Amino acid sequence: VPRSLSGHHKVLDAWQHLIMTPCSIQDLVKLGFTMQQEYGEEHIAKSFQSKGAARRNRGKQRGKHKHDFSGADSPLSDEEVWTPSSTATFPYTYVPLPRNVQRSTINVQSVGQARMIWGSTQEATSILAAVNFFRSSGGVVHEIGLCPLETQPLGDVACLQSSPVSWGKTLPLMGASPDAIVTFPDGTIEAIEVKNHAPFGTGGSTSKSMKPGTFAISDVEPYLEIAPWHIPQLQLEMLCLGPQCRAVNFMSCTALKGITILKLPRNDVYISRMVELAQQFHNSFVLTRRMPTEGYERVLYKDYDRFLADTKA
């Protein structure tokens, strides 16, 4: 497990975040009012529209945010989003910015920072690769945002069938944000999770020769299997997309050595154990505001070792 993801301090960081007082409706209203003030007089003037104009404007806004994932049709066609390729190699192609467009520069001081920036800037290119790849099987790639779990039926989650769910009380508020989804003509949905591997390593061959801000090219091969620490995230994405989502496409993307797309099927038994573990952590430490001690997981959850083994399998 990477050092950035391991250690009991990660548990304590999550616990401290979870016990914070959630934002209230009043806070949201206040925030919305502040944002409206900062938006400028032009936008504030819209609140003084006639009833008919306001109704038409609301209809337009609803139309913008209405999405139907039951079929393969996208709210916008591929031709309206991507540029058709001039060659037969790929249906759609990447069009770089013109050379005369001013680009922003970032003062990068560490390899970790460079890798984070790389992952964000290359995500759109990876999604374009997904658009081209899944098109051959009739798949349409859609943009997606946060998927709150409370919007989905939970009848397939075994650990929740014995008692009713009370969000924030018997079960924590949970959600997932896939990078995209792909819909197929038969109505099925699959999530897409992109991992862009930056081609940068620390400059210098020894610890003494390494200096902040110096880098070396260290391009890696795309992964041939999914690392265990990604499994809970991917299974949670399928859960939050609903029972019709039966797989996640994990894209391991490199700068110069291509992309692998690894399909992970949905595992409802694993999902149930994962939700049960989250539920017990919530009830034992979040609601009680009691700090979790090291080794709590095996004391709290009798099936933890089996859950861990399934994660590594």
* 83-106 tens-digit pLDDT: 666 665 777 777 766 666 676 777
If you average pLDDT over every residue of the chain, what do you get?
Answer: 79
Q: What is the pLDDT of residue 245?
A: 94
**Which CATH number is 176's domain given?**
3.90.320
Q: Does 20 fall in a domain?
A: no
Report yes or no on 178 lying in a domain: yes
Mean pLDDT of 290-304: 90
The Cα-based distances of 31 to 23, 34, 41, 80 in angstroms read 10, 5, 17, 34
pLDDT of res. 79: 47
Q: What percent of the chain has pLDDT over 90?
A: 39
In this prediction, residue 206 carries a pLDDT of 57
The count of domains in the chain is: 1
Does 259 score more than 50 pLDDT? yes
Which has more pLDDT, 45 or 230? 230
Identify the pLDDT of residue 296.
92
Within a domain: 51: no
* Lowest mean pLDDT across 77-91, 123-137, 266-280: 77-91
Given the structure tokens 């970790």, which residue do they identify?
Answer: 112
Lowest-confidence range among 123-137, 215-229, 256-270, 285-299?
215-229
Kindly state the tokens that stand for 74: 């996208």
DSSP 219-256: --PPPSS--GGGHHHHHHHHHHH-TTEEEEEEEEE-SS
Query: Quick check: 260 pLDDT over 90?
Result: yes
Give a yes or no: residue 39 inside a domain.
no
Query: Quick one: which of 278, 292, 186 has its CA closest to 236?
Result: 278
193 or 62: which carries more pLDDT confidence? 193
* 251: nearest Cα among 184, 177, 196: 196
For 293-301, what is the mean pLDDT?
90
Q: What is the DSSP letter of 196?
A: E
Reported as a single tens digit per residue, the pLDDT across 53-65 is: 555 555 555 444 4
Task: Decide if 197 is inside a domain.
Answer: yes
Q: Is residue 214 part of a domain?
A: yes
User: With b meaning 16 or more CB within 10 Å and e meaning fewer, what string describes 1-34?
Assistant: eeeeeeeeeebeeebeebeeeeeeeeeeeeeeee
pLDDT at 17 over 60: yes
- The predicted structure's pLDDT at residue 54: 53
Domain assignment present for residue 88? The answer is: no
Share of the chain above pLDDT 70, in %: 73
Of 49-58, 99-108, 158-167, highest mean pLDDT: 158-167
What integer pLDDT is reported at residue 204 of this predicted model?
A: 59
Q: Which structural domain range is residue 128 located in?
A: 108-313
The answer as to whether 165 is a domain residue is: yes
